[in-house]
Amino acid sequence: MNFDIAIVIAIEMNIKVQNISKSYNKIKAVDAVTFEVNSGELFGLIGPDGAGKTTIFRILTTLLMPDEGNATVAEYDVVADYKAIRSSVGYMPGKFSLYQDLTVEENLEFFATIFGTTLAENYALIADIYIQLEPFKDRRAGALSGGMKQKLALCCALIHAPKVLFLDEPTTGVDPVSRKEFWQMLKRLQLKGITILVSTPYMDEASLCDRIALIQKGKILKIDAPQVITANYEKLIYDIQSKNTHGLIHDLKNYSSHYSVYAFGEFIHYIDKNVDFKPEDLQQYLEEKNHSDIIIKKAETTIEDVFMDL
Amino acid sequence: MVFETLQVSIIIMNKEKIIQVEKLTKTFGNFTAVKGITFDVYKGEIFGFLGANGAGKTTAMKMLIGISNPTSGKAIVAGLDVATQSDLVKMNIGYMSQKFSLYDDLTVNENITFFGGIYGLSRKQIKEKSIQLVEELEMQNVANNLVGALPLGWKQKLSFSVALLHEPKIVFLDEPTGGVDPITRRQFWEMIYTQAHKGTTIFVTTHYMDEAEYCDRVSIMVDGVIEALDTPKNLKQQFKVNSMNDVFLKLARNIE
């Protein structure tokens, strides 16, 4: 019985985007983008500012019409059935868009009323997030810290128990602790059967999604599970370290067979052009350049490595 | 190892202090946002100022750049008292934030001219600086384009250079790389390194923990106090973890 219901839901909650394009004046913000999000999936749009992420969100939440292509959300067409979409999706825009002069509680009640429901009716869905906000429920939204604003915005987007949740850069400008908590919340929402499309400029968050689309300059460069994307990366990356990081970057860039040199936390990620690259040769070169405490070892490929090589 | 640590501390002792903060406190009504923080920043250092949202970072930084008066305690920035010489502080520091940096409706050249004027540069100086800066950033082709039309990464690089127009001894960067693409983010840090090597002190906040690794020293604020301050390497050793992200998570958990 439950199984049947699951199948019915599975048909309803996916997102299909086919050849969507959108230009502002002469600038193509989104260029023939195609992807599908499966029902119940946590799907990430990963890319920097200006990649076209927000435009895609606005089209899917019916706030903007595409120039070309078509898209459906929960089987509803984003143009023809826009009203049905608006009542069945939750949207958390990138810019904080709640009423700054209303308190936490007033904002929640306001959004509940707009969607014809009450805070009590869907409380179970937001309970574990709202508990953290409750001590501040009489505080005006404008006076909340970044992490708290983000939690309130998520509650407001969930208040009408949407089937599909759109989160546009929910963790931008948010500290690592709040970011981690936020992703734990998303995982719990996913377990409740909500399909989630989330965008982020933080590449380390990509690995927390079921599948991701890497996007830059309006074009999707790759779609797959994050683990598959990193596993399929064929180049060998080395972690390199010495006492003088800035000098190391400079000297590695002057090493004749270098392919790419990027700082990665405490190490430099180095890729060589040659298949028969010998770390010993590089070690010797760096010693000649007076580097000390040199470490050269194989690195683990991250999404950010792949992204920078696209 | 002990010898190495000793050497480091001797080098630091010989360094000129460019920021001296002593028991700096800021209270709003009955809420104390910054609770008597004490630390020094040395000349030419890249100093990472980290903390969770709401930990008091922005409030502390506002006091250091002279736009918010301390409730108590003292801060000397570039030899000037932030409480009594705030106007002079503003003339002697550079500031760049992600939220506000340049005017979108002015061109690259107009922005340089405008901020050069604000910082009190002469017309001649502004002219020379404009040419030099546009050349260094390889923005000759867009020098007369509106800043609003530039990619974010370009804006951030330009904004950093503009913050350095008046050759300040110290520059404050408030989340300079938020949302910037990974390659530009790294290019930006190379600019920071280069500037630090010229002797400019860099005071920077970021939410990218890999960037915390690029700082000479890092402080982590939790709930209005500085909970930790050391080199990234020492902090990782102290907390027995492998990354600055884990240091941060260990320190800043369960706040707000």
Which chain B residue is nearest to residue A53, measuring alpha carbons?
B179
All residues of chain A having their beta carbon less than 8 Å from the beta carbon of residue B243 are: 265-266
Whether residue B213 and residue A265 make contact (CB cut-off 8 A), yes or no, is: yes
Whether residue A48 and residue B179 make contact (CB cut-off 8 A), yes or no, is: yes
Residue B240 pLDDT > 60, yes or no?
A: yes
Mutation for testing the B interface, residue in A243, A244, A266, A293 having most B CBs under 10 Å: A266
Give the C-alpha separation, A229 to A238, whole Å. 18
| Contact present, A150 and A182 (Cβ < 8 Å) | yes
Grouping H, G, I as helix, E, B as strand and the rest as coil, residue B191 is helix
- Closest by Cα among B237, B255, B98 to B175: B98
Helix pair A245-253, B182-197: axis angle to 10 deg: 120
Q: Which ipTM score applies to this complex?
A: 0.79
> Within 10 A of B152 (CB to CB), how many other CB atoms are there?
18
Give the C-alpha separation, A84 to A94, whole Å. 23
Domains of chain B with CATH codes:
43-68+83-252 (3.40.50.300)
Mutation for testing the A interface, residue in B1, B45, B154, B186 having most A CBs under 10 Å: B186
| Contact present, B239 and B209 (Cβ < 8 Å) | no
Residue B256 pLDDT > 70, yes or no?
A: no
| Contact present, B165 and B116 (Cβ < 8 Å) | yes
pLDDT value of position A159: 93
Whether residue B53 and residue A146 make contact (CB cut-off 8 A), yes or no, is: yes
Residue B196 pLDDT > 60, yes or no?
A: yes
B109 or B181, which is more confident? B109
Domains of chain A with CATH codes:
2-231 (3.40.50.300), 238-308 (no CATH)
Whether residue A177 and residue B248 make contact (CB cut-off 8 A), yes or no, is: yes
CA distance B197 to chain A (A): 9
The one-letter amino acid at B88: L
pLDDT band at B127 (very low <50, low <70, confident <90, very high): very high
Helix or strand run (H / E) with residue A177: helix A176-191
- Closest by Cα among B112, B227, B219 to B162: B112
pLDDT value of position B14: 62
- Write the CB contacts of A290 (distance below 8 Å, at least 6 apart in sequence): none
- Closest by Cα among B195, B117, B183 to B154: B183
Whether residue A177 and residue B232 make contact (CB cut-off 8 A), yes or no, is: no
Across residues B188-214, what is the average pLDDT?
92
CA distances A36 to A17, B23, B183, Å, are 6, 55, 28
pLDDT value of position B252: 78
Nearest to B193 among A172, A203, A246 (CB): A246
Length of chain B: 256
Numbered residues of chain B with Cβ closer than 8 Å to any chain A Cβ? 51-55, 98, 151-153, 175, 178-184, 186, 189-190, 193-194, 197, 207-210, 213-214, 232-233, 243-245, 248-249, 252-253, 255-256
The DSSP call for residue A274 is -
Whether residue A266 and residue B232 make contact (CB cut-off 8 A), yes or no, is: yes
Residue B61 pLDDT > 80, yes or no?
A: yes
pLDDT value of position A11: 54
CA distance B144 to chain A (A): 19
Helix or strand run (H / E) with residue A128: helix A123-133
Give the C-alpha separation, B192 to A168, whole Å. 30
Which chain A residue is nearest to residue B151, measuring alpha carbons?
A50
All residues of chain A having their beta carbon less than 8 Å from the beta carbon of residue B152 are: 48-50
Nearest to A264 among B190, B210, B233 (CB): B210
Across residues B168-187, what is the average pLDDT?
90
Residue B11 pLDDT > 70, yes or no?
A: no
Give the C-alpha separation, A19 to A220, whole Å. 11
Strand partners, A272: A258
CA distance A6 to chain B (A): 36
Helix or strand run (H / E) with residue A187: helix A176-191
- The count of CB pairs under 8 A between chains A and B is 99
Residues in chain A, pLDDT under 70: 1-12
CA distance B77 to chain A (A): 26
The string of pLDDT tens digits covering residues A111-155 is 999 999 999 998 999 998 899 899 999 999 998 877 888 899 999
CA distance B126 to chain A (A): 30
Give the C-alpha separation, A73 to A63, whole Å. 13
Numbered residues of chain A with Cβ closer than 8 Å to any chain B Cβ? 47-51, 132, 145-148, 169, 172-180, 201-203, 216, 245-246, 249, 262-266, 304, 307-308
Strand partners, A239: A269, A297
Nearest to A263 among B53, B153, B214 (CB): B214
